[in-house]
Amino acid sequence: MKHHLNIIILALRAAITFATGMVLYYFGTAYRLITQNDPALLKGFFANYFTPLYHNTIDGNTIWLGTAFCIAYGLLLIYIIIGITCFYRCLLRIEKGKMFYHTQGNQFRRAGSTFIIFAKVKYVLFVATGALLYFDVKIFFTEIPAFLALYLIGKLILVMSHMAEKGEFIKEENELTI
């Protein structure tokens, strides 16, 4: 079983490192957008994420919208890093043989709800920014697979939290009986 746990732990470490890199990238982009105030930079950056419905022109105001998007997404990534760290700590304890300890259910629940909130807010953020900046209607559908995957993983972690809570209860009962 340790082998499976180790693989998930490795994947979580990779996810944390990757998310940290993304946070730095988004904050760096926000800083560049503010200091350089160059619409071409904004256009180039968002061309990777959104496809415009029309060839709209970008005025100065959208620079601030772009900056807000970068900062909001950076903060959202920090939020998910906290959730992943919580899940990572839970799994580390399980790896050390500490199953059904006092706060395990709570920790799993927190990690699960963080995943679900992240999935929902990311979807809303991308859809709102795409619609506001580029009238991008396609983003409503292209973001759905990522949203669903994260949402269902969150729900699966919540089912794990339910199992952990039940296990905690039985374990406590067992110790009291003895």
Partner 1 sequence: MKHHINIVIIALRVILFAAAVMCIINLLKAYEFISTSDIDNLYSYFDTLFTPIDSATLNNRKILGVPYLANLKWIAIGFTLCYTALLIYGMLGIIQFYKCLLKIEKDQIFYHTQGNQFRKVGATVIIFAKVKYILFCFIGILSYFDISQFFKQIPMLLSLYLIGKLILIMSYMAERGEFIKEENDLTV
Contacts to partner 1 by CB under 8 A: 1, 4-5, 7-8, 11, 91, 94, 99-100, 112, 148-149, 152-153, 155-160, 162-164, 166-167, 170-171, 173-174, 177-178
**What's the closest the beta carbon of residue 110 comes to partner 1, in angstroms?**
14
Among 156, 170, 163, residue whose Cα is nearest residue 105: 163
Q: Which is nearer to partner 1, 1 or 40 (CB)?
A: 1
Q: Considering the complex, state which of residue 63 and residue 157 has its C-beta at the smaller distance from partner 1.
A: 157
Q: How far apart are CA 48 and CA 33, in angstroms?
A: 16
Q: What are 119's two structure tokens?
A: 């999935």
Taking the least distance from each CB to partner 1, the nearer of 4 and 55 is 4
How many residues in the chain?
A: 178
| C-beta separation of 46 from 133 below 8 A | yes
DSSP conformational letter for 48: T
CB of 166 to partner 1, least distance (A): 5
Q: Identify the sign of the CA torsion 50, 126, 143, 110.
A: positive
Alpha-carbon distances, residue 137 vs 52, 54, 127, 145 (angstroms): 8, 11, 8, 16
Contact between 88 and 12 under an 8 Å Cβ cutoff? The reply is yes
| Residues 109, 161 contacting (CB under 8 angstroms) | yes
State which residue, 30 or 150, has the beta carbon closest to partner 1.
Answer: 150
100 vs 134, beta carbon nearer partner 1: 100
